[in-house]
Amino acid sequence: MATQLTAHARRRPSFLRVAIAVQTLTVFLQAVSAGLLLTSSYGEVLHDVGARVMYGASMLYVLAAVLAWKRGGGSPRAVWHASGFLVLASVQVAVGIAHVPSVHFPLGVLMFGLSLLALARPQR
C-alpha cells in the first residue's frame, strides 16, 4: 500500500512544483515581451502587464514553499529560495521602473536561470 501511495505521489506534481513552473514561464515570457518592447508599439503594455504577473507568480512561489514546509514537512530551504527570488523580483521591478537596463537585463537572465535550477531540483 505504501509503495502505491509513493508512486502516485511522484506522478502528480506538487503545488510547489507547479508554482515554480509558473514562475519560470512568466520570467521567460518577460524576455519575449522585452523583445517586443524593442520592436513593436504594443510591447510596452505586454512587458508592463507581464511584470505584474511575474511578481504575482513569485509571491505564489513563496506561498507554495511555506505551505509545503508547514503542511507537508518539506524543507525550510525552499522558503528561503522563494523569499530570495521575491527579493530579486522586487529589485528587478525597481530597476525596470528606473530604466536601468545595464542591471535589468542581466538580472532577468539570472532570475530565469535560478528559476530553471529550482524547477530542475528534486523537491524534498
Which residues, 6+ apart, have CB-to-CB distance to 90 below 8 Å? 55
The pLDDT tens digits of the residues spanning 58-70 come to 999 999 999 999 9
Select the highest-mean-pLDDT range: 1-5, 42-46, 106-110.
106-110
DSSP state string for 11-44: HSPPHHHHHHHHHHHHHHHHHHHHHHHHH-SSHH
Res 30: pLDDT: 96
Q: Which amino acid is at 60?
A: L
* Sequence-separated contacts (24+) of 102-110 with Cβ below 8 Å: 105/34, 108/27, 108/30, 108/31, 108/34
Q: Which amino acid is at 108?
A: G
Cell of 124: 524534498
Mean pLDDT for all residues in the chain: 90
Which residues, 6+ apart, have CB-to-CB distance to 116 below 8 Å? 24
Give this prediction's pTM: 0.84
Q: Are 35 and 29 in contact (CB under 8 A)?
A: no
Domain ranges of the chain: 15-120
Q: Are 48 and 69 in contact (CB under 8 A)?
A: no
The pLDDT tens digits of the residues spanning 31-78 come to 999 999 889 988 999 999 999 999 999 999 999 999 999 987 778 899
